[in-house]
Amino acid sequence: MNTITAAITAVGAYVPDFVLSNKVLETMVDTNDEWITTRTGIKERRILKDADKGTSFLAIKAAQDLIAKANIDPLEIDMVIMATATADMPVASTGVFVATEIGATNAFAYDLQAACSSFLYGMSTAAAYIQSGRYKKVLLIGADKMSSIVDYTDRATCIIFGDGAGAVLFEPNYEGLGLQDEYLRSDGVGRDFLKIAAGGSLIPTTAETVQNKLHNVFQDGKTVFKYAVTNMADASELILKRNNLTREDVSWLVAHQANKRIIDATANRMELEDSKVLMNIERYGNTTSATLPLVLNDFEHLLKKGDNIIFAAFGGGFTWGSIYLKWAYDKK
C-alpha cells in the first residue's frame, strides 16, 4: 500500500501540581461538591499558580514529555501546530516560542484557535500536511491556561475549567492506519454565547473593560449545552454511518471533556457501552484545547494497534466535529 495516511505515533502530557477541588471551590463561591459533580462530572481541576508562567510553559512540558517517551530528536520535527485559546500574548505566536524552546529549530510553527475544538481541527490540519507528502513529523500540541481568563467569583464558569496540555506526533503510515475520515463544522450564531468580549479589535482594552471583567470568559451555559449535545452527537453518528461502522466496530470514544452529560449523550447516540467511553473529566475539568490529548495520554495503555477511535468536540464560535482514526501502535 503506497497511499500515505497520517497516524499518531506518540503522545505526551503535562498538568500542573496544584489541585483545585470542589471542596475548595465551596469556600470561594456559592456552590457545593454534589451540585458540581451531578451537573458536570467534575471533582477537581489542575491550576498553574505561577503568575510568571503562561500556556507556553504547559505546552513545552507536554512536548518534552512526548519527545522523551518517544526518544525522538526535536531537530527532526518539521512543524509544530499549537492549538490554544489562551495564547501567551497577542501577535507573537505561542507555538513559535514553544518550538524554539523544545529545540525544534528546523520546524515552522503557528497557533490554531477554534476554542474547545482547536485540537480536533489541529488533527485535521496535521494530517493534511502529512498526507501531502511534504512533511514527516508534525507535532500537534493542545494547551490552555484557562485559569488566566476565568473569573473565580463567577460560579457558572469557575467550576468548569482547568489548566493542562497534551501533545501528539503525526507521521506517515503505509498500513492504512491513522486518520480515516472527518466531519468538521462551524456556525457564527454562537459568537455571543461563549466568548471573551474585550481585548480584541472590536472592543480594545481600556480601564473600563478591565473593571467590568470583560476579559474573563463568559458562557451562556444552557444555550452552549443544548448546541453541544446536539452537534457532537450528530457529528459522531454521521461519521459512523458514513464509514459503515456499527457500535461493535468502535473501540473507543474520545470526546471533548466539557461536561459528563454531553459525553454521555454522544455515547448514547452511538449506542456505545460505558466501557468504550474514555473519560478523565473528574480529575481535570475542561482544559479546552488539551482535553483530547490528555485522554489519549491517560489511556494510552489501553489503545491497541488497529483500534477504531472516534473523536468528538464542540467549542465556542460555534465550532464542532468528529474524526475517525485507526490507532497505529501498541504501547511498549
Strand 108-112 with 79-83, pairing: parallel
Q: Is 158 a catalytic residue?
A: no
Residues 324 and 181: their CA atoms lie apart, in Å, by 5
Q: Given the C-alpha cell 480584541, which residue does it identify?
A: 200
Sheet-wide strand order for 319-326: 178-186, 319-326, 308-315, 252-255, 277-278
In angstroms, the Cα distances linking 1 to 4, 5, 96, 135, 177 are: 8, 10, 35, 19, 11
Active-site residue (options: 173, 216, 256, 297): 256
Active-site residue (options: 22, 173, 216, 286): 286
SS3 for 89?
Answer: coil
Q: Is 301 a catalytic residue?
A: no
Q: Is 256 a catalytic residue?
A: yes
Whether omega before 299 lies within 30 degrees of 0, making that bond cis, reads: no
124 within 8 A of 184, measured Cβ to Cβ: yes
Active-site residue (options: 116, 158, 231, 259): 116
- Catalytic positions are 116, 256, 286
